[in-house]
Amino acid sequence: MLTIICDKPGTLSAIERDRPVRGENEVLLRLRRIGICGTDLHIFTGDQPFLSYPRVMGHELAATVEEAPAGSRLKPGDLVSVIPYISCGNCNACRKGKTNCCRRIGVLGVHRDGGMAEYLTVPEAFVLKAEGLSVDQAAMVEFLAIGAHAVARAGTGTGDRVLIAGAGPIGLAVAIFAQIEGAEVTLIDGRADRLAFARAHLGIESTVPLGEGDVDALSALTDGDFFDTVFDATGNPRAIERGFGFVGHGGNYVLVSIVAGEISFSDPEFHKRETTLLGSRNATIADFERVMTALRAGKVPDALITHRMRLSEVPQAFAGLTDPAAGVIKALVEVA
Ligand SMILES: [Zn+2]
Ligand SMILES: [Zn+2]
């Protein structure tokens, strides 16, 4: 089967591999769409820590069932989405239902080979029927679930004033689910094209360009109160540190993006606000299900998909996605 492999940073090759054989309690999947995200770009550029090469990327997966275990709830031909965070089920986090931060987590396409290929085997528990979704939508469930999980962490509700720093795919996913919960969303980003996209396709009227005067603008939007919840989706340590100052008194700060290294903040400023600081990692099955409900209800615009390529074209086309001028929000790989 055709497989795209990242041999070492900067090099992708199309190779032929044997089709995987399904183990007990595993489902053999035929891939249909593979979403590409920031994680993949970092694997390609070599900026992803704790990763060994060669690696087959691909964790945003829409597939159809080829073979399922006897007695399975899945049958051949079913359209499915994959939960790529393979959790152990036994550690303390898993026992508490927090499978998203399992101690022994193995993420498809990161810690183990993913789905940038024609076939993949996955334990049955990590395969969700994508009933009522298009094939494209089924490939968008995972990155949207990251946003849905962050919003659930914050407990965002009706009328909350929410600031999202970073208007890339994850920031936009947070914005979609914060709006579904009834929040008033403001976006801040240094890229005018991404703010324009959010205004045009997500109906977010409140956008603030990063830079001179931005603090005054954020203050004016909230009568000097600042925000009930600030979400960071920037991947930038400086931006994360700055975001502490945008949290209102009694507010939350949710760190969705992760950076290598340390961040610091003023303890008096943190305490003065009685800030609640939350990390948000991956997503749970409940988040995936909430995303599927939102997709079926037409609450996620297809305009998020800005680029497409065939599986065989990935080695030539991939590097072009890293160029900000390409205006990529979500690129999908189509498997014939
Ligand atoms: Zn992703
Ligand atoms: Zn676990």
Token match 């990251």: residue? 146
**What is the per-residue pLDDT across 276-331, written as a single tens digit (0 to 9) for each?**
999 999 999 999 999 999 999 999 999 999 999 999 999 999 999 988 889 999 99
Using the mean position of ligand 2's atoms as its centre, give its distance from the Cα of residue 91 in Å: 4
**What is the per-residue pLDDT across 55-84, written as a single tens digit (0 to 9) for each?**
999 999 999 999 999 999 999 999 999 999
Please enumerate, as own/partner, the contacts of 239-248 that have beta carbons within 8 Å and a separation of 24 or more.
Answer: 239/165, 239/166, 241/265, 243/163, 243/165, 244/269, 244/270, 244/275, 245/215, 245/269, 246/163, 246/165, 246/215, 246/218, 247/273, 247/275, 248/161, 248/222, 248/273
Question: Ligand nearest 173 Cα, by number?
Answer: 1
Question: Ligand nearest 108 Cα, by number?
Answer: 1
Using the mean position of ligand 2's atoms as its centre, give its distance from the Cα of residue 86 in Å: 9
Question: Ligand nearest 147 Cα, by number?
Answer: 1
- How much is the average pLDDT of 151-172? 98
Using the mean position of ligand 1's atoms as its centre, give its distance from the Cα of residue 270 in Å: 31
- 259 compared with 166, residue with greater pLDDT: 166
pLDDT, residue 325, reads 87
Using the mean position of ligand 1's atoms as its centre, give its distance from the Cα of residue 160 in Å: 27
Residue 244 above 90 pLDDT?
yes
Query: Taking ligand 2, which is a single-atom ion, which protein residues have CB atoms under 5 Å away?
Result: 87-88, 91, 94, 102
| Domains defined for the chain, CATH in brackets | 2-131+301-334 (3.90.180.10), 147-279 (3.40.50.720)
pTM: predicted TM-score of the whole model, two decimal places? 0.97
Using the mean position of ligand 1's atoms as its centre, give its distance from the Cα of residue 109 in Å: 9
**What is the per-residue pLDDT across 217-233, written as a single tens digit (0 to 9) for each?**
999 999 999 999 999 99
- How much is the average pLDDT of 244-269? 96
CA distance 202 to 302: 11
**What is the per-residue pLDDT across 186-203, written as a single tens digit (0 to 9) for each?**
999 999 999 999 999 999
Question: Ligand nearest 109 Cα, by number?
Answer: 1
Using the mean position of ligand 2's atoms as its centre, give its distance from the Cα of residue 46 in Å: 27
Using the mean position of ligand 2's atoms as its centre, give its distance from the Cα of residue 125 in Å: 14
pLDDT, residue 73, reads 97
